[in-house]
Amino acid sequence: MDTNLILMIGGGLGLLFLIIGVVMSVFGERSVVEERLGRYSETGSLIASTADVTESTGERSSPIASFFNRMWEGTDLFESISRNLVQADLKFLPVEYIALIIGVAGLGGIIGMFVGRGSIPFGVIAMVVGAFVPHFYVLSSQRRRLKQFDNQLGDMLNLTVNGLRAGFSTLQAMESVSRELPRPISVEFRRVVQEMQLGLPMEEALDHLMRRINSDDLDLVVTAINVQREVGGNLAEILDVISYTIRERVRLKGQIQALTAQGRATAWVIAALPIVLVLLLFLTNREYIMTLFTPENRSCGIPLMILAGGMVVTGFIVVQKIVQIDI
């Protein structure tokens, strides 16, 4: 290869890296005060569930990920992703989450091509399924964390009521909750206490808590606290009544979960059975399944597969709606 060509390529790459470094240093700059405040309060543009989470995420994230995260920060897409990750208590930046989706989709496509023996349609389907896997995991983590929070809310109210009757202020009662109770409720109320200690009003700190925890029971508690701060009254008695209501609701939810367990399991089995059967036939007798995709049968086979998939999904959703009883 010509020496001049090598020098030109090396000089061009060096100039490109220099431009990237200048752009990152200029547009990726962030004040130290805003960075530290963002660890504890949602008034900063750094969003995370706790200070420790944000600090550990910032330490392990690469400069490129931090740069793109700051570039797209404030957009509706990144705000939605950040809110979902915070509600699921996952220590990812939005850019890292998007990169994870792309990586899992690519891995799913490779596995699909390998399992399908080079079948492009099978690889595309596996890629699409892989792209939705991180989203389903985030939703599952959100539901699991919300369920844990709701189950701990009754204990939190009992501890708060006892603290108020012992002479604690509302802030001191919340601080005792953050020290005495396990995760995730202790983490969330520690965040509330930290925001109030930084000067945020209690109403705003509780509103941030509601953004992170989308719970109807918590909404009832926050509304009671905000109303009591405006009109007065015995907060301990109010929270005691709410605590009894929440405990009864949790008990009824447990009974409903036990009574509808068979219906929910049946929905999963019936929905997974045709999918697993098609996959097994594809692996053991590929010619039999590929008959639907031959040129002479494609106009009929592909619509039948789409119709079958739509019916499976519709039936699963209908059964889940039937067994889902709101209290």
**In which band, very low, low, confident or very high, does the pLDDT at 58 lie, cut at 50, 70 and 90?**
very low
* pLDDT(70) > 80: no
Residue type, 314: T
Alpha carbon distance 200, 7 (integer Å): 58
Q: What is the pLDDT of residue 34?
A: 46
Which pair of tokens denotes residue 327? 């209290």
Asked if residue 18 lies in contact with residue 57, where contact means CB atoms within 8 angstroms, the answer is no
pLDDT > 80? residue 240: yes
46 vs 297, more confident: 297
From residue 38, alpha-carbon distances to 25, 41, 82, 159 in Å are 20, 5, 13, 29
End-to-end Cα distance, the chain: 75
pTM across the whole model: 0.66
- The alpha carbons of the chain give a radius of gyration, in whole angstroms, of 26
Q: According to the model, what pLDDT value does residue 3 have?
A: 55
Per domain, the residue ranges of the chain are 260-327
- pLDDT category, 287, cuts 50, 70, 90? confident
- Give the lowest-confidence range in 90-99, 174-183, 234-243: 90-99
Q: Are 249 and 327 in contact (CB under 8 A)?
A: yes
CA distances from 210 to 87, 189, 263, 298 (A): 10, 11, 32, 51
**DSSP states of 85-129:** HHHHT----HHHHHHHHHHHHHHHHHHHHHHTTS-HHHHHHHHHH
Question: 10-51 pLDDT, tens per residue?
Answer: 555 555 555 655 444 444 444 444 444 455 444 443 344 433
Residue-wise pLDDT for 116-145, tens only, equals 667 677 778 888 888 888 888 898 888 888
